[in-house]
Amino acid sequence: MEYFDVIKNLIPLLEAEQENIEKAGHIIAETIMKGGIVQTFGSGHSYAGAIEIAGRAGGLLPVKAVYEETFGRYERIEGVGSEFAKYWDLRENDCVVIISNSGRNPF
């Protein structure tokens, strides 16, 4: 029962973010309609979330997970994310979905 209680307590938090969730959905839809790619990124364990969005059978086709080779070893160093992003193949109509389990690392 504890599992379901946790889920029930999370629902109001999600409802409070409904406007932002809808905005994100519109950005992703516009990206696809304009021929862009939805690029997903997560450092360290957050990469699991990025690959969950990309490459799924029956999922969105124009989605790519960006792989970070150090698997989070430098995720706590200020500025390393900006430097890493310089090497992405980002194009004008693309959007990036950044996943973070903790939301606190500067990467």
What is this structure's pTM? 0.77
The answer to whether residue 72 sits within a structural domain is: yes
The answer to whether residue 82 sits within a structural domain is: yes
What's the total number of domains in the chain? 1
With vertex at residue 38, the alpha carbon angle to CA 35 and CA 41, rounded to the nearest 5 degrees, is 155
Closest-CA residue to 74 (of 103, 98, 105): 105
The answer to whether residue 105 sits within a structural domain is: no
**Domain harbouring 41, CATH code:** 3.40.50.10490
The answer to whether residue 107 sits within a structural domain is: no
Q: What is the pLDDT of residue 104?
A: 76
Q: What is the layout of strands, in order, in the sheet containing 95-99?
A: 63-66, 38-42, 95-99
Rounded-to-integer distance, Cα 67 and Cα 58, Å: 22
The answer to whether residue 104 sits within a structural domain is: no
Give the structural domain span for 20. 2-99
pLDDT of residue 57 exceeding 80, the answer is: no
